[in-house]
């Protein structure tokens, strides 16, 4: 399954016409001099973009510098070129004797398809013009059809099988090449190509059915519910949108101060929808059938192949031990929230599932003066970008430069392009920063790979290209873009993904950068959150945009301490979600309905009561992209916590630790088993107990004491 690296790990990968236009400096022979089109990164983000002469007079380059993509019709040209090259590569793969060249050809075939599919995958949701979005959508469909065709190409499968069957030949290959060959085979067999013709046809049909059900379920998770206005008290009706005689409930309104608003939203938004319930049941059942058809006892066993956890048994052991360690802390958190609710609403003081987000926020505000507007003046976007620049320079010898874009290269004039430059290796890749709000832009922060890195046949390195998408406010005439602490943390998080892509120097694009197991992919991004909450790092850049006064240490300490308020209850909720995900993807047929399972799991792993006539699982959108892998957020955080404490807590700018981090973790992408990378970084093989202890100990960390002691 040649497009599976992107699909398996939910990371977008990218674009072919890019081969010529994005080539630029391709690695080994690249000049070390600073380009005249580069400028300091901080200043570039604190000023509005300006038109340049070449925007008006220069040649139109096309999106990402790809000439064909100067118009929407260029996607047709790009996909035709990719499909033509694919046919040639398939013939080459089938006629080449088994050996390392086989893996190289398969990787080039994967790259050829991913370039168009993943570039189109970004454009279809990120481009503001409908014509570009529609053309990209059609390109995705066209490439998808080719992938389905290749997944059933027995001759192509057999050419890889011959290599894997030759044990002596496999032993002669280096570890990364062996792993990539095995990953290609794993992806092939997921589609059932190793089965007889009848079973293979069933596997293809199930894959198509699962894709359709996934899309339908995902749409249903956001679909609003309606209720007659007369059924809700008049004094809360203004909180909801109106549609004639009905009110539209399109979310949980978790931050609303009125308890009745939150209760009404929870009960109405989560009221079961029969079609959505049937869709979920069919999705879970189809996944189970496919897993059994291709040789796994459950879908979870199939999904966890190659991850840190490896098996569902290990995941449940992790979740159960974590739940046990959290239980007393969670009970105290609930008591604290119960007390606050009793204080504010004595007539209706029982703590319910719609209460924790609001009352934990009230407690934070009461204990710590952490109003975001107090922090914003110290966190201009330009200052934060310069802070990242300082951090990367000290840790990794990397400098971020703002690079001038050409006409047609970006999809919106406020998109900035960064060159990532190493002090001795030169240009490592490019990051396109799509940071600002605009109409119809997806309301999510995310990272897209537009081109994966790989070693090319001529010995040069294909440099990676990524997009970071945020939703920040625009600068105004009077002040630059100012970030809340949460926005700043999100920026650091997404830049962690970008650095993983930039520094993942793998031979094969199939395992480049973030193309790694899900429970490892979030480690670099979560680790960056620890840096963003350390005063020694923050003090390097957090200065008032008008007076240059530094952000007081006490304010950072208060912010860090406030984040520990009710964290046990928040983590317990994540444990509940992860356990529910495992049970849904475990043994089938399920012993009870998905709602009954939800009720039992909530009682065992959370503590707050199930609310009758609700079905939260029907809004659980992560069941699509993170099926059987929702635990990954918790496990990645555990690993990031251990790396932070072992390697960076004493000195967040430690160059030796930074180089080790690059060498042991970032450089390999998905080309090395994740536990081996963790072991190389920590100099030990962590146990489940180590992961649990890392998460729990984060709740005890006294940043203020550490900062004072380390002065």
Strands in 281-403 per DSSP E: 398-403
Strand partners, 399: 421
Q: What mean pLDDT comes out for the span 678-692?
A: 97
Q: Is 610 exposed, middle or buried (0-12, 13-18, 19+ CB in 10 A)?
A: middle
Provide mean pLDDT across the span 249-256.
94
CA distance 199 to 197: 6
pLDDT at position 36 is 54
Residue that the structure tokens 């929702």 belong to? 630
How far does the chain reach from its first CA to its final CA, in angstroms?
A: 54
Confidence of residue 208 (pLDDT cuts 50, 70, 90): confident
Among candidate residues 52, 30, 12, the one with its CA nearest the CA of residue 422: 30
Supply the pLDDT for residue 4. 42
What pLDDT shows up at residue 12?
37
Q: How confident is the model at residue 370 (pLDDT cuts 50, 70, 90)?
A: confident
Note the pLDDT tens digit of each residue in 116-169.
999 999 999 999 999 999 999 999 989 988 888 888 899 999 999 999 999 999
Alpha carbon of 94 to those of 4, 80, 87, 114: distances in Å? 20, 22, 11, 20
pLDDT at 13 over 90: no
Predicted confidence (pLDDT) at residue 285 exceeds the cutoff of 60: yes
Residue 588: per-residue pLDDT:
97
The domains of the chain, with CATH numbers, are: 63-194 (1.20.1050.40), 376-568+631-699 (1.10.1370.40)
For 391-404, give the DSSP string. Answer: HHHHHHSEEEEEEP
Determine the length of the chain. Answer: 711
The predicted structure's pLDDT at residue 701: 56
Task: Give CA–CA dist 83/150, Å, rounded.
Answer: 11
Across residues 190-212, what is the average pLDDT?
88
Q: Rounded to an integer, what distance in angstroms lies between the CA atom of residue 252 and that of residue 263?
A: 9
Q: Is 526's pLDDT higher than 60?
A: yes
Q: What is the pLDDT of residue 656?
A: 98
Distance between CA atoms of 139 and 113, rounded to whole angstroms? 11
Assess whether pLDDT exceeds 50 at residue 18: no
More confident residue, 442 or 135: 135
Bigger pLDDT: 127 or 208? Answer: 127
Torsion of CA 646, 651, 653, 656, to 10 degrees: -60
Please indicate whether residue 15 or residue 583 has the higher confidence score (pLDDT). Answer: 583
**pLDDT of residue 35 exceeding 90:** no
> Torsion-angle region of residue 295: left (phi > 0), alpha (psi -120 to 50) or beta?
left
pLDDT tier, 710 (very low <50, low <70, confident <90, very high otherwise): very low
pLDDT of residue 23: 30
pLDDT at 372: 85
The DSSP element (H or E) to which 104 belongs, if any, is helix 100-126
Question: Is 303's pLDDT higher than 60?
Answer: yes
Average pLDDT over the chain reads 90
Question: Which of 80-89, 303-312, 553-562 is predicted least confidently?
Answer: 553-562
How do residues 553-604 score in pLDDT, each as one tens digit? Answer: 999 999 988 999 999 999 999 999 999 999 999 999 999 999 999 999 999 9
Residue 29 has pLDDT above 90, yes or no: no
* 164, 181 Cβ separation under 8 angstroms: yes
Between 344 and 5, the more confident residue is 344
Using CA atoms, how far residue 125 sits from 292, 413, 616, in Å, is 34, 17, 27
User: For position 191, what pLDDT does the model report?
Assistant: 80
Estimate to the nearest angstrom the gap between the alpha carbon of 444 and the chain centroid.
10
Copy the structure tokens of residue 477.
Answer: 């005439």
Asked about 255 being catalytic, the answer comes back as no
pLDDT band at 443; cut points 50, 70, 90: confident
If DSSP states are collapsed to H, E and C, what string results for 560-614? HHHCCCCHHHHHHHHHHHHHHHHHHCCCCCCCCCHHHHHHHHHHHHCCCCCCCCC
Evaluate whether 575 touches 326 at the Cβ level (below 8 Å).
yes
Q: Mean pLDDT throughout 231-236?
A: 95
pLDDT number for residue 704: 46
* Distance separating alpha carbons of residues 239 and 411, to the nearest angstrom: 36
Which one of the listed residues 176, 494, 522, 673 is annotated catalytic? 494
Beta bridge partners of 403: 38, 417
CB neighbour burial string for 524-538, b if at least 16 within 10 angstroms, e if fewer: bbbbbbbbbbbbebb
Confidence class of residue 21 from pLDDT cuts 50, 70 and 90?
very low
Q: In whole angstroms, what is the distance from residue 299 CA to residue 627 CA?
A: 9
Per-residue pLDDT at 678: 98
DSSP type of residue 29: T
pLDDT confidence tier of residue 31, bands split at 50, 70 and 90: very low
Mean pLDDT of the 414-419 span: 96
């Amino acid at each position: 399954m040649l497009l599976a690296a992107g699909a398996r790990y939910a990371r977008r990968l990218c674009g072919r016409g890019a081969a010529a236009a994005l080539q630029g400096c391709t690695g080994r022979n690249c000049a070390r001099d600073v380009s005249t089109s580069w400028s300091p990164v901080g200043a570039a983000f604190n000023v509005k973009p300006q038109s340049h002469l070449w925007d008006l007079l220069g040649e139109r380059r096309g999106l990402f510098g790809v000439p064909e993509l100067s118009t929407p019709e260029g996607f047709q040209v790009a996909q035709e070129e990719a499909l033509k090259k694919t046919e040639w590569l398939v013939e080459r793969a089938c006629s080449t004797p088994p050996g390392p060249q086989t893996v190289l050809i398969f990787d080039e075939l994967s790259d050829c398809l991913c370039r168009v599919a993943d570039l189109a995958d970004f454009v279809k949701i990120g481009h503001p013009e409908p014509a570009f979005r529609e053309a990209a959508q059609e390109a995705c469909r066209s490439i998808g059809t080719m992938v389905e065709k290749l997944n059933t190409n027995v001759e192509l499968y057999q050419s890889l099988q011959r290599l894997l069957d030759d044990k002596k030949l496999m032993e002669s290959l280096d570890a990364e090449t062996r792993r990539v060959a095995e990953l290609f085979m794993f992806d092939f067999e997921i589609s059932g190509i190793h089965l007889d013709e009848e079973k293979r046809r069933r596997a293809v049909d199930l894959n198509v059915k699962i894709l359709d059900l996934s899309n339908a379920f995902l749409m249903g998770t956001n679909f609003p519910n309606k209720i007659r206005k007369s059924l809700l008290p008049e004094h809360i009706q203004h909180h909801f949108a109106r549609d004639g005689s009905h009110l539209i409930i399109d979310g949980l309104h978790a931050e609303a101060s009125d308890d009745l608003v939150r209760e009404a939203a929870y009960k109405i938004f989560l009221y079961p929808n029969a079609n959505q319930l049937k869709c979920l049941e069919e999705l879970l059942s189809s996944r189970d059938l496919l897993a059994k058809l291709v040789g796994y006892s459950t879908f979870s066993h199939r999904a966890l192949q190659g991850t840190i956890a490896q098996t569902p048994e290990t995941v449940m052991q992790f979740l159960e031990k974590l739940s046990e360690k959290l239980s007393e802390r969670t009970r105290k958190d609930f008591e604290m929230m119960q007390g606050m609710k009793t204080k504010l609403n004595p007539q209706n003081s029982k703590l319910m599932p719609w209460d924790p987000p609001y009352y934990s926020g009230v407690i934070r505000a009461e204990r710590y003066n952490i109003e975001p507007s107090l922090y914003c003046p110290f966190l201009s976007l330009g200052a934060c970008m310069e802070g990242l620049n300082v951090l990367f320079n000290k840790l990794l010898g990397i400098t971020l430069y703002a690079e001038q874009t050409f006409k047609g290269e970006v999809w919106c004039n406020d998109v900035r392009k960064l060159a990532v430059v190493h002090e001795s290796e030169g240009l490592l890749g490019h990051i396109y920063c799509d940071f600002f709000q605009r109409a119809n832009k997806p309301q999510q922060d995310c990272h897209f790979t537009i081109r994966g890195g790989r070693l090319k046949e001529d010995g040069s390195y294909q440099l990676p290209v990524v997009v970071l998408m945020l939703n920040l406010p625009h600068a105004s005439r009077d002040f630059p873009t100012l970030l809340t602490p949460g926005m700043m943390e999100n920026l650091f998080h997404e830049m962690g993904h970008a650095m993983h892509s930039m520094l993942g120097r793998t031979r094969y694009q199939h395992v480049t950068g973030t193309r790694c197991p899900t429970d490892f992919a979030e480690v670099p991004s979560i680790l960056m959150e620890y840096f963003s909450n350390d005063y020694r790092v923050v003090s390097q850049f957090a200065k008032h945009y008008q007076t240059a006064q530094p952000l007081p240490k006490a304010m950072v300490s208060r912010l860090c301490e406030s984040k520990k308020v009710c964290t046990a209850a928040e983590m317990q909720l994540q444990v509940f979600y992860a356990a529910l995900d495992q049970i849904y993807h475990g043994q089938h047929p399920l012993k009870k309905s998905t709602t009954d399972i939800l009720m039992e799991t909530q009682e065992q792993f959370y503590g707050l009561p199930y609310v009758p006539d609700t079905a939260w699982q029907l809004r659980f959108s992560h069941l699509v992209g993170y099926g059987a892998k929702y635990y990954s957020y918790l496990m990645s955080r555990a690993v990031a916590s251990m790396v932070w404490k072992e390697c960076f807590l004493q000195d967040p700018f430690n160059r030796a630790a930074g180089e080790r981090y690059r060498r042991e973790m970032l450089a390999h992408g998905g080309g090395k088993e994740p536990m081996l990378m963790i072991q190389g970084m920590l100099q030990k093989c962590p146990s489940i107990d180590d992961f649990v202890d890392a998460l729990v100990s984060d709740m005890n960390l006294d940043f203020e004491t550490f900062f004072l002691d380390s002065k």
